[in-house]
Amino acid sequence: MTAGIDDISIYIPRLYVDANDFAEARGLDPAKLQKGLGVSKMAIVDTNQDPACLAANACLSVMQNNKLSPEDIGRLYVSTESSFDESKAMNSYVIGMLEQVYGQGAFEHCGGVETKFACVSGSYALYDNLNWIRAGEAEGKAALVVVSDIAKYDLGSSGEMTQGAGAVTMLLNDHPRLLTFDPRVTATSIRDEYDFYRPFGKETPIVHGQYSNLLYMIQVRKALEIYKDKAVSTGLIKLEPGETILDHMDYINMHLPYSAMGKKALAYLVRHEWRQLPRWKKIIQEIGMEEPVPKDPRGTIESVLRDHEFMTKDHEFTKLFTQTPEYQEVYEAKLSSSLIASKMIGNLYTASLYLGFRSSLEFEYQKGIDLEGKRVGFGAYGSGSSAMVFSGVIQPEYKEVVKSMNLEEELGSRRKLTLNEYETIHENKLGLEESILKTKHEFILVNVNTSIESRGERRYVFTK
Ligand code: CAA
């Protein structure tokens, strides 16, 4: 049985911080954000929004756009790393909110859990729900997989320039209009790591930034190797001599904590794939330098990062490699459209891979490219750490959905925050009722109980 994504909806908070204002306030060169990291705006949640509201708003929009009733939905999963309760799952809050619109008990039949594994848990939730459909357990119902996060780092930290917030809901079924996933090729890699983590009770993560960048690329590469073996052994892809598995992916979507990370990770994967092929000789000639190797090629990530001579040369090599026409062609054709939304919105943690996919569909369609039958590869990464690589094929009915995608329109009129306003919100100095924006037809958080017996109970309303 086939299974895949029928539709995607997004919810992005309307407040944002402008990268140039941010750079000025922190004494940074704006080019570091705009060009170095590929960040131009970072979406920020209002005082009365939490990740559950974002998720519920994205769910409502996919349900309304597709005229779905709760009876059409068999499962609702929420994947997040911005959880605010150690026990109560975020999908239960979302169901509570949706039932304000659809009636109490309307989703009672609907199963689901909250999943957590930093930014990769949405991909695990997607995989589990696709298998639920493939196994014939869905009985004609659809699954909603919602990825929702608030990417918030400490003021003044190096992660602060890679913030953002938002939710993406994917409607999954057995007759998807957008994308059918390739069966039996999903690949995973996992390792106990401390590149980025958020201990209990801490609102912001502890991050080892450069370590996390390198680990991301190593882990995704490992998963790609496994994907390659599976794709070849299942007969999905036949590799001719001189080809790489990436040649068989028309589009590649990467996890995007900031948009330039996608470019960096793609360059890493392409470089490692091409190195074994005859075409590499020409690339090395174009670059004009040999590919550097670390002093201890079997060393740890720490030893590689400490090897300053290697890191400097490798940085130079990567820069030259990404300027070659061969890499530029791959980048422009397979990745570039997926980065557009990330630049405009910022980091969505779990949701960033799927915002990238949505972005790629919209902006490739706008170029007039026929997307039917194109294979899309996905490279997911979650700190802590695990990577997943999988793929799918765009379906003949994709136009029905993609033709009405309009990111600018969906973002609506956004309100730029001053740095002072942003810092006040960031430090939680305003109450829920002191929101900057007044919203209509959206779920908002109106109360968090502080009494001893009901501490932490949250109340939401759907604004009229
Ligand atoms: N003009 C143009 N470019 C500039 C520049 C300037 N004036 N100054 C710096 N740059 C470039 C740098 O060359 C660099 O580009 P390359 O990567 O191509 O070399 C880029 O801007 C960033 O500069 P630095 O590497 O010096 O930046 P940094 O060390 O201060 O911070 C960071 C970058 C480590 C990513 C930091 O923002 C961070 O810690 N972020 C949070 C962790 C993170 O996102 N990790 C990603 C992988 S883990 C993950 O993905 C999980 C998750 O979602 C969090």
pLDDT number for residue 215 = 97
Give the separation between CA 101 and CA 76, rounded to whole angstroms.
16
pLDDT over 90 at 233, yes or no: yes
The structure tokens listed for 16 are 């944002």
Q: How many helices (H) and strands (E) does the chain have?
A: 16, 17
As a whole number, the mean pLDDT across the chain is 97
DSSP state of 290: P
Q: Which residues contact 311 (CB under 8 A, 6 or more apart)?
A: 304, 305
Positive or negative, the CA dihedral 189, 195, 200, 204 is negative
- Residue 45: φ, ψ to 5°: -75, 145
- Cβ neighbourhood burial of 329 (10 Å; 0-12, 13-18, 19+): exposed
Q: pLDDT of 356-391, one tens digit each? A: 999 999 999 999 999 999 999 999 999 999 999 999
pLDDT for residue 195: 97
Q: Whose CA is nearest to atom 25 of ligand 1?
A: 210
Strand partners, 460: 445
Neighbours of 419 (CB within 10 A): 15
pLDDT the model gives residue 1: 84
**pLDDT tens across 92-112, in order?**
999 999 999 999 999 999 999
Distance 217 CA to ligand 1 centre (A): 14
Q: Which residues lie closer than 8 Å to 447 by C-beta, 6 or more apart? A: 432, 458, 459
Residue 172: which of 82, 55, 66, 89 has the closest Cα? 66
For the cut 90, the answer to whether the pLDDT of residue 65 exceeds it is yes
**Structure-block tokens of residue 117:** 């594994």
Please, are residues 384 and 197 in contact by the beta-carbon 8 Å criterion?
yes
Q: Which residues line ligand 1 (CB under 6 A)?
A: 29, 31-32, 35-37, 118-119, 158-159, 161-162, 196, 207, 209-210, 212-213, 216, 255, 257, 261, 264, 315, 349, 381, 383
pTM: 0.97
Residue 31 CA: nearest ligand 1 atom is 1
Q: Does 327 have pLDDT greater than 90?
A: yes
Distance 448 CA to ligand 1 centre (A): 36
Rounded-to-integer distance, Cα 4 and Cα 13, Å: 27
Measure the CA–CA gap between 193 and 79, rounded to whole angstroms: 20
Q: How confident is the model at residue 255 (pLDDT cuts 50, 70, 90)?
A: very high
CB 354 within 8 A of CB 122: yes
